[in-house]
A and B are shown apart, each in its own frame.
Chain A
Amino acid sequence: MIENSFNRRGFLKVLGWGGATVALSGCGNTSVEDGREFVTSYVQTADYIIPSIGTYFNSTCAQCDAGCGIMGRVREGRVLKLEGNPKSSINNGKMCGLGQAGVQAHYNPDRIREPLLRNGDKGEAIPWGKALELINEKIGGVKAENIAFLTGGVSGHVKALLKNYLDALGSGHHYVYEAVAPSIMRAANRKTYGVEMPRLRLDKAKVVVSFGADFLGAWISPVHFSQQYARFRKADNGERGVLVQVESKMTLTGANADRWLAIRPGTEGILALGLINALAAAGLSVPGDVAAVVREYTTDRVSKDTGVSAEHIGRLAALLKERSPSLVIAGSAAEGYAHGSQNATAIALLNQVLGNVGKTVEAPSSIPFPQMAPSTGNRFALQSLNDNMAQDKVKVLFSYGVNPVFTAPASMKLKENLKKVPFKVVFAHYMDETALEADLVLPLNSALEDWATVMPEYVAEGAQLNIQQPLMEKLYPGTLGMGDILLALLKQRRPDEYKGYEDFYSYLRSAMVSNKGALGGSTTDDDTFWDATLSHGVVKLVSTPVNMSGNVSAKGLVVPGPFAEDSAYPFHLIPAVSASLRDGRNANEPWLQESPDPLTTIVWDSWVEMHPKTAAKLGIVEGDIVEVASRSGAIKAQVYVFTGIHPDVISVPLGYGHEAMGRYAKGVGVNAFKILDPVFDKETGELAMHETRVKVSKAGRRVVIVKDEGPAGGNQMGRKIAVRVSSNKVNLSEEV
């Protein structure tokens, strides 16, 4: 929360004086700068560039990992606004608010502008040549197995160069870490479908049952799914698809659903098995082994375990049976438990029984260049790096595209373990929490001034390689692109192989042009191919659908019963992934802090979301500052009372609470990552994000929550603007 003694009265006073000053200075055209201001013309320019008229260049959005194609409007050499690139099959010319804020990442005043070497507590600016030489020297002094490279999800030519660099060092220690990633779902998908990321066809489904997958907000590729969702809601045949969202804390997708079912946390798998049982009872043919497993999940028992009424379960089963094909999605809410893999498998089993595999769950395409395929990350990777650091096995650590000091739970003691690493190199845009721990900070180009290729994990059609190209000149001469840095490092190790490339651009161009046959340019000459590639911003790759080989077996599938009561820590903490802030990497973009959360309308702060019943029981009202304490730590934030949450659950959004990073992120809200308990998924070893149990106590103070919602707290003052009926009053027989 922002604590400030500057109150409303003071604000108005300043506004008054400020207004008077503006009025005074308004006399006499002070903004006219005849003979003082420069008017700089181009030295050389293309005919299509006309001052004051925007030119659009295609590139790729780097705000999240979905890899949407973007078009940047460039005027007088400055990028002004981003739009979606219609040629990209991921977003088809559309864009989200997070993507729009990409210009604020580029023009951000807190970007690092030159390489910094640690000197005590301070960073000392050094030239690039010295920085790269220092890396060479440090690497030369340690064994290859003691070098570790920690990155976020990487793909394309940067990934290929990174692998070559690690090969040149003789070390295979590449840890790929993503703080919020559907990694348990990926593992479950691999087991059940044979592929990590099958294509979900919401547009082909007549019913979608989503177990906590916020596909309209923050899940995998929201812009793409939003477009599919539009076709699902308004199908060509006029039949409106029905969305049922099952989750413990309402997401944006849940708010859009026809029916939102609040489920007791962690019991998603039980409901899935109960639905299979109900479907079998209703006459759907279910394989014998599956029927045997689900037999004990009677509607009564499932209703008791999950808190979803028997009537709702019956309606849902009838709906699924009546309307085919359907689609069942396991989202982060279902997989965030110690039995997350079982939950995801049970949900996949439901898809299988409903016959959706091959209809609404489709095979993805093969990737022609596996060395550029996206390496997806998980939290297990960070855990293993952390263990190695604790055992002094890491002597030189590189970190790129991640901020583990911010996103790792306090129980991992990552910050302490980092201190054991003698030389840490962090490639960063901001002085974030991880960069502050570094010995050498290397400033990166922004995504709008850098060259790269990106291969997104989720592609809608075929396989696709996205081009990321500079939309304008670098703002600061002291920054470099990741590709350029890796190339320079590779030149130290393999000079013969790489000396021909002046910079990463020339490497990229030659790599692309020499493979133009596979990139759809076999009949054109090199220059035409390259110009077309840059102009389109995406390259369609020749590919075929892979076989979905996996098989869901009910054998050995055990979904544990609901959680036992915990009197010391009675509530489940759901760390919410918001559409704007995600894992916090974009927290220093003020548009994102300023845009209200879609459900609570809160801005510029964290909040603790709780059900009115829970609040009443604890004697808490909106705006009370409460302490949320887990076994691993405690945070304090304002309470927001909201009916869209299970009474056993409280929720705190992620991404807030930076201790560094920049003026817009630092000190705003609290960091919910820190108090997550070290509970792991039993099959994959992933951190179970939803397993943390907490207690809530009043911390004494009460504040006025800063939000867009009206002072009446959304009760609509008696007007029926958005009609709301509690689920036990709904006449289900009149509904779908």
Chain B
Amino acid sequence: MYCFLRFSILLVGLIVSAGSYAVNAAQPLTTADDLGPKVEQPIEFPHDRHAGDAAKGGMQINCMYCHTYARRSIVAGIPPLQKCIGCHQNIESVRETPRIKKLFEYWEAKKAVPWKKVHDLPDFVRFNHERHIQRFVFAQNKPVQEACGYCHGDVKTMTVARRQKPLSMGWCVSCHQKDHPVDATSTKTTHGPNDCWQCHK
């Protein structure tokens, strides 16, 4: 009798723990697309050529090679022109193509390329790139393109970037409510902060 009672308690415990494990399991952070406007840029920068898969003719360059500020600043930043030139002065094969010629024109005039903003948030929202990159890329060992892609979509397939996600408050919150492991090895999970002032300060 006791034995049966013990067993049933054990069983209930097991079911409950299994159930709670299922609830705690990490949920996918990808969301449906909601395209933003097409933005015409002064130079039609081919993200696919730079970051795309090798099989499709891409260079598989890490996002953070160019958007180097993302991991240490609230903004990802557009790379300085000298970064483009740093590589392209040694790539003779494309030196005479129209886009690269235009790039060097800006460089020789020492003028910044007037890129248009593709992802913008209202002025009362403070989004911090550093926190997200540190969490997903460095703490959880997520692939860089996946982590950036949560908000920016599959940039490696685009030429000029286009907004892929709604970037609305509801959309941000929908992700902050999902559980995810605190780091790559831990089974503990957590979710993004819910305080108003985290973004509105």
Contact = CB atoms under 8 A, between A and B. Distances in A.
A36 B163 CA distance: 13
Contact of B118 (A29, A35, A45): A35
B80 interface: yes
A31 B123 contact: yes
Interface string B71-97: 011110111111000000000000000
B74 to A, nearest CB: 5
Contact of B117 (A38, A50, A51): A38
Given A38-B116, A40-B112, A43-B107, A52 B82 contact: no
B122 A31 contact: yes
Given A41-B81, A42-B80, A44-B80, A34 B114 contact: no
Interface in A277-325: none
Contacts of B72: 50, 53
A735 interface: no
Contacts of B37: 34-35
Given A31-B122, A43-B111, A51 B116 contact: no
Nearest to B119: A34
A37 interface: yes
A36 B114 contact: no
B104 interface: no
- Most A Cβ at <10 Å: residue of B106, B113, B117: B117
Nearest to B81: A43
A52 B80 contact: no
A34 B118 contact: yes
Contact of B36 (A34, A37, A39, A53): A34
Contacts of A41: 77-81, 112-113, 115
A39 B81 contact: no
Contacts of B81: 41-44
A23 interface: no
A22 to B, nearest CB: 12
Interface in B5-60: 36-40
A13 B117 CA distance: 38
Contact of B69 (A29, A31, A32, A51): A51
Contacts of A45: 80, 82
A51 B78 CA distance: 9
A41 B76 CA distance: 11
B14 to A, nearest CB: 49
Given A31-B123, A34-B36, A43 B112 contact: yes
Given A44-B81, A45-B80, A34 B111 contact: no
B200 interface: no
A39 B111 CA distance: 13
Contact of A34 (B74, B77, B120): B120
A527 interface: no
A33 interface: yes
A494 to B, nearest CB: 33
A185 to B, nearest CB: 50
B112 A32 contact: no
B201 interface: no
A31 B117 CA distance: 13
Nearest to A33: B120
Interface in A20-34: 29, 31-34
Contacts of B75: 51-52
A710 B122 CA distance: 39
A38 B114 contact: yes
A39 B116 contact: yes
B118 A42 contact: no
A36 B118 CA distance: 8
A708 B119 CA distance: 44
A32 B36 CA distance: 12
Contacts of A43: 80-82, 106-107, 110-112
B80 A37 contact: no
Given A50-B73, A51-B69, A53-B73, A34 B117 contact: yes
A33 B119 CA distance: 8
Contact of B121 (A32, A39, A40, A44): A32
Contacts of B116: 35-39
Contacts of B39: 34-35
Interface in B152-191: 163
Contacts of A36: 116-117
Contacts of A29: 122
A51 B36 contact: no
A40 B115 contact: yes
Contacts of B122: 29, 31-32
A43 B103 CA distance: 11
A38 B36 CA distance: 16
A206 to B, nearest CB: 48
Contacts of A53: 72-73
Given A34-B39, A35-B37, A38-B116, A51 B82 contact: no
- Most B Cβ at <10 Å: residue of A39, A40, A51: A39
Contacts of B110: 43-44
B40 to A, nearest CB: 8
B130 to A, nearest CB: 9
A35 B122 CA distance: 14
A495 B36 CA distance: 61
B42 to A, nearest CB: 10
Contacts of A37: 116-117, 120
A51 B120 contact: no
A48 to B, nearest CB: 11
Contacts of B113: 41
A52 B74 contact: yes
Contacts of B106: 43
Interface string A257-284: 0000000000000000000000000000
A43 B115 CA distance: 12
A44 B108 CA distance: 12
B77 to A, nearest CB: 4
Nearest to B167: A32
A52 B73 contact: yes
A44 B79 CA distance: 10
A410 B77 CA distance: 58
Nearest to A37: B117
A35 B38 CA distance: 8
B104 to A, nearest CB: 12
Interface string A39-67: 11111110000111100000000000000
Contacts of B112: 40-43
B117 A35 contact: yes
Contacts of B119: 34
Contacts of A52: 69, 73-75, 77
Nearest to B82: A44
Nearest to B113: A41
Interface in B100-154: 106-107, 110-124
Nearest to A51: B77
Given A43-B82, A50-B69, A33 B77 contact: no
Contacts of A51: 69, 73, 75, 77
Nearest to A35: B39
Nearest to B115: A39
- Most B Cβ at <10 Å: residue of A50, A52, A53: A52
Contacts of B78: 39-41
Nearest to B123: A31
A506 B76 CA distance: 36
Contact of B120 (A32, A40, A42, A44): A32
10 contacts: A32-B120, A32-B121, A34-B117, A35-B37, A40-B112, A40-B115, A41-B79, A41-B113, A42-B82, A43-B111
Given A44-B80, A51-B75, A52-B73, 15 more contacts: A31-B122, A34-B36, A34-B118, A34-B163, A35-B39, A35-B40, A36-B116, A36-B117, A38-B114, A38-B115, A41-B77, A42-B82, A43-B110, A52-B75, A52-B77
The 3 closest A-B pairs by CB, nearest first: A41-B78, A35-B39, A42-B80
